[in-house]
Amino acid sequence: MASFVPTRADTLEDQRLYTSARLTEVACLDCLARVGVKKNSEHHTSIQWSRKARDGCPELARRDAGTDGRDYHQGCPRLTASIDAAVREGRVPIGAEDGY
């Protein structure tokens, strides 16, 4: 249960900007899981996983089976390769806009 649930319009807008603004949908070229991706720079990539995408990724499912769920931050190398391909193809823009 959340300890803080924003209700003010400006707080909700900040939350939207931090979590979903400028996300581009990218599908993994292997398992077809779809995630939201934002690249603020060459070295910074934000990935927003949905429950459906997490459940559909065999790499994450394989890892989850042997852990207590604490290694989620390691990501999926096949998805990373798919994101890199989308960047090279120009489907994912690079660069922050207004700090986001």
Residue 73 has pLDDT above 90, yes or no: no
Residue among 51, 21, 18, 48 at smallest CA distance from 36: 48
Contact 54, 73 (CB under 8 A): no
Contact 67, 81 (CB under 8 A): no
Average pLDDT over residues 49-60: 90
3-state secondary structure the chain: CCCCCCCCHHHHHHHHHHHCCCCEEEECCCCCCEEEEEEEECCEEEEECCHHHHHHCHHHHHHHHCCCCCCHHHCCHHHHHHHHHHHHCCCCCECCCCCC
pLDDT digits (tens, 9 = 90+) for 17-39: 777 778 999 999 999 999 999 99
pLDDT of residue 68: 62
